[in-house]
Structure 1
Amino acid sequence: MIRFGIAATTALALGACVSTADGEDDADAIVIGAAIAKTGFMASFDMPVHHSLQIAVDKANASGGIDGRPIRLEAIDNKSDSTQSANAASRLIEQGADLLIVTCNFSTGGPAATVAQNAGVVSFAPCASDTRFGPLGLGDLVFNLGMSIPTEGAALADYAMKKGWKSVYTLTDTELDYPKNTCEAFEKRFTELGGKIAGKDVFRNSDQAIASQVSRAGEGAVDALVLCSYPPGGAMATLQLRQGGIDLPILANFGMDGDYWAKSLPQLSDFYVISPASLFGDDPKPEVNQLLADYRKKAGGNPPTGSFVYGATTFQLIKQVIEETGGTDGTKIAAALEQSKNLRTITGPMSFGTDYHVDFEWDVRVLKATGGRFSYVETVVPRNARALVK
């Protein structure tokens, strides 16, 4: 059996905390707690965030911190488990965390965000897609800094139409809400744009074989296949599709970002995936490529996914809002984030409202695999993604 793992991700893990500039704990320090997945299926998304957040903290401490206060970053591994996520959040808050970073998956990060909400602490899901990270799902102190599910669905639909793929087949992973909801958002926007869903099928991430789905995907004439999943199941599905003779272009959601999962598909081609950034050194933004270079130097290797930019985004937002409010009071920070417009971040300007604590406007990268090598090909700016919220 071929196994797809994230050992490379965990091998890059750095220390659990970042000390202040002078190497000593400071009673006046701003403490950022991170209840994140250093291991398990979410590590390939959480750990790049953690590494780039750590880089930002180090740089800030070297230049005086935030408003003259040093910053400490404390992390506890939730092992991609919802119960351990809540426990990690409780421990971090008990240890004095002023703000909390949570895992970017709702089922895993949600419990930690709930703990923070109940404690009056603002929490951030840096690379999440689920709009339930916010007032309508978890509380008014919870913020989602990633590309939302509606944004992903709209971007996939816009790009498919731009490529002339007007008839598609969707293959949806039903193990988690994220891939299911992403394909639903795609299908809604794609049909609105005049596209046709010629067929659809489902599988579970834990499935070891999808022979029947592969057989059905080969029936009829379609322009492309849209895959909503994440490794390892998404990797296995891609492998079996190609082995089964399905040579259609495959367009995938952010959950399939990176090339760490594609080692068993060395000639993978005509595979497209969306991301907030290219991790291959060819992003259209020079500052993203510089962050990538800093990441490689600090972590000793490439990030597994484009989520590495989210750590920088998170710190930039935290710094701006603490400087504006003069402290770390959860209610004041949340109010400032809701009222601010076009906050400056490496991923672009961000604004939050009072209903959904997420920015739906994104410059979405499209990456393509050719002969096993991924590269940036285009930026898509999806239109009116907010209208796709369920």
Structure 2
Amino acid sequence: MDDPGSSSWLTGLAARAAGSMSTPLREYVEHAAGAGVTAGEAAAAWGELRLRPHVLRDVTDVDPSVELLGRSARVPWGVAPTSLQRAVHPDGEVATARASAAAGAVMVVSSNAGSTFDDIAATGVTWWLQVYLPSDRTLAGPLLDRAVAAGAAAVVLTVDTPVVAAWHPSEALIWDVADPGWTRVNFDPGYEDQPGSEKALDLGPHDIDWLRERTGLPVVVKGVLRGDDARRCVQAGAAGVWVSTHGGRQLDRSLSTAVALPEVRRAVGDEAEVYVDGGVRCGLDVLTALAAGADAVFVGRPVLHALVDGEAGVARLHAALLVETVEAMRLAGCRTPADTRDLLAMAPDERPHPL
């Protein structure tokens, strides 16, 4: 068996998981918008960035912990929100939460989750709620109230999905064959039948302020690829801006998150935290994302691949990322994530804002 920290174990994760998934589930997990240009470039884009490592630095003790929205996390990555976790494994989000709590990683819970907020919170994980706002904002109230009552530490507003980009599975659409208990268990019964429950087409900066006032929680805006949009989010009160292409599932031919991240960091400066997802597959990717300006990295598809083996699989993913990230930090001469800020090989006026 491969060592949990070996690159070969992480590299083979998707292929091993594919054999344990039905065709509709596998296609849902792996699908991309359009011709898959954005999704196809995501992982390779991190490898295009170059680092300038330090030498003659004591890296005996490396501390990869970070502070996110005022709370300590033992690792600089977290779990991105994904649906249908209970279709991947019966324990679903609860298994992911247990493993993430043990690793000290933040977990972002999809509003479409198939596990209750209370069950997820009972694992002790630090968790944030991801939401799509409906046309009638008041319909989001009960979901938000449940999340606050269960101890959510933040709200993540997804802003890049006014509509869902078309995709064409070879067999049945997963939503047509999924068990109803696998999704949306935290909504009121009959939610989707109510007028105004469809995704809002009129999202604006005012929604950031509304969410913050409605929940009393910090708001993170997910799906930002431009510096000017990032500034608007911060000016509207966002505590964090999340650089994301929704896994390449929305507007195809969007630029990769690795390319977008430095611009967003420069636009935000130290006024808000900046996160990134998309194509992160190893500890060297984590280091590169930190160097490019991210305060934390979030991982989506690899978590679903690991979840095939339940809690143990997700725990192994966290362990492998930790081994690789610590090794990369040592080789770069960095004892903490803050030490990575000057590693990226860019022109001086293009470098991410130092924190």
Give me the TM-score of the superposition, normalised by structure 1. 0.27
Normalized per residue, the structure richer in strand is 1
Query: Comparing both chains, which one has the higher relative contact order based on Cα–Cα distances under 8 Å and sequence gaps of 6 or more?
Result: 2
Normalized per residue, the structure richer in helix is 2
Give me the TM-score of the superposition, normalised by structure 2. 0.29
Structure showing greater Rg: 1
